[in-house]
Amino acid sequence: MRTIKTSEIVDAVANMCIKANTELPSDVRTKLEQAMAKETSDSAKEVLRQLLENADLAKSTKLPLCQDCGLAVLFVEVGDDVRIDGGNLREVINEGVRKGYADGFLRKSACDPFSRANTGDGTPAIIHFDFVPGDTLKIVYMAKGGGSENMSRCTMLAPAQGWEGIKEFVINRVAEAGPNPCPPIVVGLGIGGTFEHASIIAKKSLMRRLDDTHPDPDIAAKEKELEDAINRLGIGPMGLGGKTTALSVKMAVDPCHLASLPLAVNIQCHSQRHEEVVL
């Protein structure tokens, strides 16, 4: 049994909150640069140029990339042989989020759904725990902005609708979202499981690197097929038209009930802010 100090976790989470909100991941930057080389319209190029300049500026000034520093979403893999010294893991992670959002001058966007009163410190974070073999603690942080999250949907298709039904729903969803979620977007899809499971794996798929390839060649081909179809919609950067509507489509697939075909479409903005740490 390995013991991890709570202070180590608090600091690691706080640092991830700040880094993810101020430094554009290199794979996202590369995708934006590739998009810029491909675009022919002036407005599309100008938007991408501004986004790259914004990333440079955020890194040098430590200002957040976007004023919406998101709701903190964390995926935590707890090794069976890990013991947390002196604290409840959920509370310790929330403490890290509180510290990161305060120290980094990040916007606190958590509020009561009815009164809309802001909780004032960016918590409670949305935390998903998974228990795995080993003696390490892996924490993945994501800043999930409201504008793109609002464009996400979950639906229960009939099994007969199959891949064609999935494609139709996803493409229509992206078309309806149009300029709202800050395209070029990343599309996370959860297919299978149950109503809530599809949504969680859709979100988790957004944590993959944008330039990776799904290990299952059939799923990888489906991701590519959807990415190409979405990019033919012509929504383009910020909805002003162009060839880049999605930077990537990520798909997570799990078995489901024989009566069901759950589908979750989780839309992420061009910033795709996330970080991970293994303790």
Partner 1 sequence: MAEYKLNTPLTDEDMKQLVAGDVVFLSGTIYSARDAAHKKLVDLLDAGKELPFALEGAAIYYVGPSPAPPGRPIGAAGPTTSYRMDSYAPRLYSLGLKATIGKGKRNDETRQAMQDHTAVYFGATGGAGALLSNSITESTVIAFDELGPEAVRKMKVTDFPLLVINDAHGGELYAVPDRKAAGLK
Q: Could you list the residues that contact partner 1 (CB under 8 A)?
A: 43, 47, 50-51, 53-54, 57-58, 61-69, 105-109, 116, 118, 120, 146-147, 150, 167-168, 171-172, 174-175, 178-182, 229-230, 232-236, 238-242, 269-271
Q: Closest approach of Cβ 50 to partner 1, in Å?
A: 5
For residues 209 and 275, is the Cβ–Cβ distance under 8 A?
A: no
For residues 251 and 205, is the Cβ–Cβ distance under 8 A?
A: yes
Nearest-Å Rg of the Cα atoms of the chain is 19
Dihedral pair phi/psi, residue 76, rounded to 5°: -120, 125
Measured CA to CA, the distance from residue 25 to residue 248 in angstroms comes to 14
Between 157 and 229, CB nearer to partner 1: 229
| The one-letter amino acid at 120 | G
Between 25 and 193, CB nearer to partner 1: 25
Q: Closest approach of Cβ 251 to partner 1, in Å?
A: 17
Q: Closest approach of Cβ 17 to partner 1, in Å?
A: 12
Closest CA to 147 of 108, 115, 178: 178
Query: Which residues, in sequence order, are CB contacts of 56 under 8 Å at separation 6+?
Result: none
Between 6 and 271, CB nearer to partner 1: 271
Measured CA to CA, the distance from residue 38 to residue 34 in angstroms comes to 6
Between 3 and 172, CB nearer to partner 1: 172
Closest CA to 268 of 145, 127, 180, 166: 145
> Please, is 130 exposed, middle or buried when counting C-beta atoms within 10 Å of its C-beta (0-12, 13-18, 19+)?
exposed
Q: Closest approach of Cβ 212 to partner 1, in Å?
A: 23
Measured CA to CA, the distance from residue 229 to residue 168 in angstroms comes to 10
Q: Closest approach of Cβ 5 to partner 1, in Å?
A: 29
Between 51 and 71, CB nearer to partner 1: 51
Between 75 and 101, CB nearer to partner 1: 101
50 C-beta neighbours (distance < 10 Å), count:
12
Between 89 and 270, CB nearer to partner 1: 270
What one-character DSSP code corresponds to residue 25? -
Measured CA to CA, the distance from residue 196 to residue 204 in angstroms comes to 13
Q: Closest approach of Cβ 74 to partner 1, in Å?
A: 20
Q: Closest approach of Cβ 194 to partner 1, in Å?
A: 27
Q: Closest approach of Cβ 210 to partner 1, in Å?
A: 16
Q: Half-sphere exposure of residue 62, counting CA atoms within 13 Å on the CB side?
A: 9
Between 30 and 172, CB nearer to partner 1: 172
